[in-house]
């Protein structure tokens, strides 16, 4: 069994942008946060991560966000969550 990462950075980015003006996806994020493993499983069955107002259930193998709350609410339409390994992890 593979080791579950202890933290990820979640980037909330617009799903559709006409022109990023050369900006990277990371630079286009409207919000980002580092979330840390809580040691609990979420209702989706994947590990739960929390931090800076975000609660996420992430499949560590595929690096897919399976569930996400932003400040206790579902993600707004038009935004998508991307993850990457957090700096220093």
> Of 44, 54, 60, nearest to 81 (Cα)?
54
How far is the CA of 64 from the CAs of 10, 19, 23, 44, 78, in angstroms? 11, 25, 23, 12, 18
Give the tens place of pLDDT for each residue, 21-30: 777 777 888 9
Is residue 83 within 8 A of residue 60, CB to CB? The reply is: no
How does pLDDT run across 48-78, given as a tens digit for each residue?
999 999 999 999 899 999 999 999 999 999 9
Query: Distances from the Cα of 12 to the Cαs of 4, 34, 71, in angstroms?
Result: 22, 12, 13
pLDDT in tens, 3-56: 788 999 999 998 876 666 777 777 888 999 999 999 999 999 999 999 999 999
């Amino acid at each position: 069994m593979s080791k579950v990462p202890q933290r990820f950075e979640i980037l909330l980015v617009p799903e559709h942008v006409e022109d990023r003006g050369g900006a990277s996806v990371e630079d286009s994020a409207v919000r980002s946060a580092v979330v840390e493993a809580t040691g609990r499983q979420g209702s989706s069955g994947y590990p739960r991560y929390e931090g800076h107002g975000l609660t996420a259930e992430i499949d560590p193998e595929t690096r897919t966000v399976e569930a996400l709350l932003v400040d206790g609410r579902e993600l707004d339409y038009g935004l998508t969550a991307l993850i990457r390994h957090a700096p220093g992890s």
